[in-house]
Structure 1
Amino acid sequence: MREKAKPAGRPVQAYLFADPVSHTLSPVMHNAAFAACGLAGEYSARWVSAAELGQALASLRVEGVLGANLTIPHKETAVAYMDSLSGAARTIGAINTVINVGGQLHGDNTDAPGLAAALSDAGDAGGPAVVLGAGGAARAAVYALRLRQREVFVVNRTPDRARSLTAALGGQALDRAAVSWEQVSLIVNASSAGLNDPDQTPLLDFDFAALPPSALVYDMVYKPAETRMMREARAAGLRAENGLGMLAQQARLAFIAWTGCEIGIKVFLDALRLHGLDRGAPL
């Protein structure tokens, strides 16, 4: 996307725009990446409401600002403010990375390849998948899975949103009761369930023993490190992992897009571990 940033000169800036923003670990990773690349830069998180999003994005157009990451609830709304979009962002209809290119804002989606890399690291073997949720994160998940020719079912508390998602990206929107769980090899929680309430789960009163013993449960929520969904899956003998791996993978791809510095995933994961975070307790 751009030439490698130079270590000398005025420090560059990058941001996270979110609402709420208190849970974020992005500054921990990106500031470690700046240091590892020898770049004078600072990444900071800003609490940006939906009403403030347009003004916040406009502030990225100045020299010295690399861009921003976007998370809840801005990933879909921000598309309308971009001057250009990557192919993935255009198809998904959501962006998580904004890149300032000479005052023009380019929107990209690193969630999809970030999830694909994290699932590979977690030992996902392929097969039918269920995505829980229908927002920007769910759209990225469905896109990533469908790109690999996987059968995908979308379950959401608002069925119309699930149907809209699958009409755009493929897969099938189903009620929970209609899913053939015994054939599902992967569940991805792409909703915010569990993010603000550790006892909240997107699968209330669900029998995880209905899944094949080899199934993987992947929760995009990473704080707490072990969500209720993960605990219940593990109690049934299944593998379960939180979203820390995806967080690191998508951050790495965003950082490379901003700076041109090809940095390894270890820098991002090590920064998280220094803050006592991991991908969840082992089985």
Structure 2
Amino acid sequence: MRVTVPDPDQALRAYLYADPAAHSLSPHMHAAAFAHAGLNGTYEARRVLPADLPQAVQALRSAGTLGANLSLPHKETVLPLLDDLSSAARLIGAVNTIVHRGGQLSGDNTDAPGLLAALRDAGLDDAGRGSVVILGAGGAARAAAFVALSDLARPTWVVNRTLGRAQALAADFSGLGNVQAAPAIDVPWEAAQVVINASSAGLNDPDQTPLDATFLARLPAGALIYDMVYKPAETRLIREAHARGLRAHNGLGMLAHQARLAFQAWTGTDVPVQVFLDALRAAGAPR
């Protein structure tokens, strides 16, 4: 995708489209990035209901609009509303970043490389051979499956409350590697090196968990738990993982890395990820 560097004096706009959206810390990150880059820009989190998504996407074609990030529930349903997709977005089947250029809207996925960077920051051993277990079957889970199979080349298990959705995801990614869908009770947890919560469990209720603690108890000592939920900072999944001596991280790192990549796609400016992390801390996000 060719990037045109914006005029620093032009008023620029970017958005988050989600439902809900009020909890998002993304406006704090992008405000800091605009300031660091010396650009006159704003970033607004907007609640967009599913029925209103086509109209909201069309509005991104206006002058001065850089594009938008997408979160639940829009990452998959947005695809037919866009003019083209990056190769990663096409393979993943989900878009979290829309880039506007000259009236055309391109869909990209910065969740996948953002997750990979966050896993490595969290101490993922690239040389390990353990499997990856993904909890969830939506757009975020699709990005996680792409990372597990394409970047990490690990056997992958998909666990979801609705088994049919997990099976559909596994079928979509079967061409990339060894991926299976199964109920949690059938997963060989003793062989898992990474468990990724890509569901919304814990987002609105910190006592909700996507995984019974009995399965956590079967993980090997060196396993890494990565919960994409970042607010609250310590979900029940993380608390129970720590109680068993496992490494566990929330989704703040992924949030910062994917935001940095989206900002670069919009503006052509590579702002250090630390700027995004510092903005999250300043906004009250705990480590």
The 3-state SS of whatever aligns with 1:210 is: coil
Q: Is the 8 A contact 1:5 1:261 kept in 2?
A: no
Match for residue 236 of structure 1? 244
Q: CA deviation at 1:207?
A: 4.1
2:93 is equivalent to residue 93 of structure 1: yes
| Secondary structure at the counterpart of residue 165 of structure 1 | helix
Give the Cα–Cα distance (whole angstroms) in 2 for the partners of residues 204 and 147 of structure 1.
Answer: 28
Contact map agreement 2:213 2:240 (CA 8 A) in 1: no
Are the counterparts in 2 of residues 98 and 106 from structure 1 also a CA contact under 8 Å? Answer: yes
- Tell me, what secondary structure is at the counterpart of 1:153? strand
Does 2:132 correspond to 1:132? no
Deviations 1:208-234 (A, max 9, x none): 221111000000000000000000000
Q: Secondary structure at the match of 1:182?
A: helix
> In the aligned structure 2, how far is the partner of 1:128 from the partner of 1:278?
30
Is the 1:95–1:109 Cα contact (8 Å) retained in structure 2?
yes
How many residues in Structure 1 have an aligned counterpart in Structure 2? 278
Equivalent residue in structure 2 for 1:164, among 164, 168, 181: 168
Q: Deviations over 1:46-66 (max 9, x none)?
A: 110000000000000011000
Structural mapping, 1:101-112, within 5 Å: 101-112=101-112
Contact 2:197 2:226 in 1 (8 A): yes
TM-score with structure 1 setting the length: 0.96
State the Cα distance separating 1:276 from its structure 2 match: 2.4
- 1:183-226 per-position Cα deviation (integer Å, ceiling 9, x unaligned): 10110000000000110000134342211110000000000000
Identical-pair percentage = 59
* Distance across 2 between alignment mates of 1:252 and 1:15: 14
How big is each residue's C-alpha offset from its partner over 1:134-153, in whole Å with a ceiling of 9 and x where there is no partner? 00000000001111211110
TM, length-normalised to structure 2? 0.95
Quote the residue 2:148 is aligned against: 145
Quick one: distance in 1 between partners of 2:286 and 2:274? 12
SS in 2 for 1:77: coil
Q: Paired residue for 1:26?
A: 26
Letter in 1 for 2:231: K
Q: CA deviation at 1:23?
A: 1.1
The answer for the alignment partner of 2:70 in structure 1 is 70
Output the CA distance in 2 between the equivalents of 1:161 and 1:168: 11
Q: What one-letter code is carried by the residue in structure 1 that aligns with 2:170?
A: T
Unaligned runs of 5+ in 2: none
Q: Report the aligned-residue RMSD.
A: 0.9
Q: What secondary structure sits across from 1:36 in the alignment? A: helix
Counterpart in 2 of 1:256? 264
Cα drift, residue 13 of structure 1: 0.2
> How far apart are the structure 2 equivalents of 1:274 and 1:205?
33
**Contact 2:115/2:144 (8 A) holds in 1:** yes
Uncovered stretches (5+) of structure 1, i.e. residues with no partner: none
Question: Do the aligned residues in 1 keep the contact of 2:189 with 2:215 (CA within 8 Å)?
Answer: no
Q: Secondary structure at the match of 2:68?
A: strand
